Amino acid sequence: MIVPEGGAFSQLIAPPLGPRDAKPRSSGITMVIDKGMNLIETEHFLSMAASTVDLLKLGFGTSAVYPESTLRAKLRRAAMAQVTTCPGGTLGEVAWTQGVFPAYLRRCRELGFGAMEISDGTIVLQPDDRARAIEAAKRVFPLVITEVGKKLSREIDLVACAKGVIRDLEAGADYVILEGRESGEDVGIYDAGGHVMDDLLTAFVDALPLAARQRVIWEAPKKSQQVELIRRFGPSVNLGNVPPGDAIALECLRLGLRADTFVLSLGDN
């Protein structure tokens, strides 16, 4: 049956690419980026798409700009919808550079965040410091996500990024994001037009053991990127930086309810 089970066609039409695992799920993660939805927009978004979304990331430093009462209300509403929230990694980088990272972790947990992101997309974290940050976050949060790749540099060594994924997982991270930014252009595995560069993708994947590949969240804000990654890894690939308005459309791609992926179920027909 099509998820959610109460859908209008759930007793009639089977999803061409198979059903989705029920939440909470460990694969097929969809991470949506929230760049400033107000409470009404958050309510409307969750009422429509909560069953399709696993993580809601309050991007970059937006969590520090909301009035506290608004932030708490957003986090509380997401938790009620079984959507885990985390602040953007950039805010944690600011906390680290200001020497308040332990207090930042405690404050985020007290406010109601359910997960923490550790990144050094803008700053430089030495491997030992990064491992300590992961371990500290894991003592406070049940779910810790890290990010590899740089935001402000086109040059990237994806084999080195793969080694970073392995180190982060060994340090206790649950998932590792491959940087793709909100644009999905000229960063990571994407060229200036947002197209997947197959040689870079292959180099990254080949440098990872299978278990680690399943813990990667690919930032893929564009539909074409989502389609390519689903074609490559299947509908249970973990995808991040998904715009709120695209969450249901992505779910259709995962289920085979959109032409781009429906064709995958047809074989040679």
Q: Which domains does the chain have, with CATH numbers?
A: 30-257 (3.20.20.70)
What crossing angle do the helices spanning 158-171 and 127-140 adopt, rounded to 10°?
40
Tens of pLDDT, residue by residue over 104-117, are 999 999 999 999 99
pTM for this prediction:
0.94
pLDDT at 24: 94
pLDDT at 1: 41
pLDDT at 3: 52
Tens of pLDDT, residue by residue over 67-81, are 999 999 999 999 999
pLDDT at 154: 56
> What share of residues in the chain are helix, strand, coil (percent, to 5)?
45, 15, 40
pLDDT at 155: 64
How far CA 176 is from CA of 1, 91, 162, 197, in Å, comes to 31, 17, 10, 20
With a cut of 70, list the residues of the chain below it in pLDDT.
Answer: 1-5, 150-155, 186, 268-269
Tens of pLDDT, residue by residue over 232-257, are 999 999 999 999 999 999 999 999 99
